[in-house]
Chains A and B, each alone.
Chain A
Amino acid sequence: MAATSTRDLGTGLFVLLGFAALAFLLTQTTDLDEYRGDSGYRVVARFQDIAGLKVRAPVTMAGVNIGRVEKIEFDGDRLDALVTLRIENRYDRIPDDSDAAVLTAGLLGSKYIGIGPGGSDTYLADSSEIQLTQSAIVLEKLVSKFLFSQAENTGGGQADP
């Protein structure tokens, strides 16, 4: 009988351990609060080019994380990218003439959205649109532009001794 109860105890502990492991995974490896679907309000912004921006990329202001990219769609009529941002509720006093830019963390790092403050007295609210946007700086375009202007410069120099 003693053997049986030790076994029961062991099995009970095992089941407990298994659920504790799941609890650990759900609380320690992921941020449930931040993820919880509906908290925060949504604003949209249109960009000519979002380059490698991904859903769930951070939205920052003054370098501080204030929300996330929730949805990225291509607008077939206006031929631009329509990006939905979810911003945490406590940041409810962002001037509605603020601008949004697709930025890059480091030289080759992942893309995120940075919001630069405007000066208006009215604030962004749910489903308002950020009018002022700046698209991603695409390195290839930058490089080709640079090379092109270099070639023009040197070409001009040779033609005029």
Chain B
Amino acid sequence: MDNLIEIKNLHFKRADRPIFAGLDLDIPRGKVTAIMGPSGTGKTTLLRMITGQLRAGQGSVRIADGDGMTDIGTLDRDAIYRLRRRMGMLFQNSALLTDLDVFENVAFPLREITDLPDRLIRPIVLMKLEAVGLRGAAGLMPSELSGGMGRRVAMARALVMDPELLLYDEPFSGLDPISLGVILRLIRETNDVLGLTSIVVSHDVEEIARLADYCYVIAEGRAIAHGPPAELARSESDLVRQFMAGAADGPVPFHYPAGDFARDLAGD
């Protein structure tokens, strides 16, 4: 299979607590791949490793580069910045620049990275805003946008440099059904029309089932299951069934790791 990203035997710790312990995961080129898992399993952390903001303790995160694969962990600062120009990312809370209006937010990467003159920037920005249906909102400030609108603006911004890889961190959380439908359609269409590769991090089983081509479930630092969503839904594994069915307790514990409760209460 033609993979854009290959993650092998990834280990990573936060303050001595292992987040990843031997994670293997491949992102196929041109597809929408979902990464699912309970809150706090390290989905955002994984995206930060793909963008080179965090480095692996052990194992490798490799990205296709020309003919071969490059290990992101071995790149120097300049190479990482070059690599990031091929990526766009949508943050959990759209992360728009609060002192710039919608138009300037979308224009920001163009102004910062390219030398394009205003008369070229304007049509590009308006085109991207039109694509997310917010050309009319170009003059608004981020504080005047709803959560769903903000996310669409962030999407226009992520698309403005024509990346080949788009990363979405929880694009569905806190949206009404209509905005949700709009975002789902946008992710699918941009992926197919522009020929991108998309990674969507989420724990919304239903939406992922509608959107993704391929799906990974991560828990306890590893990928516990992967496959097309329909296949996962029929999975035999307790862990996956618990997650897909949304049960509070099961093999994936409801509790964050802790000592004995009675002893804690006694104050030892």
Q: Is there a direct interface between A and B, measured as CB atoms under 8 Å apart in the complex?
A: no
Contact surface of B with A, Cβ cutoff 8 Å: none
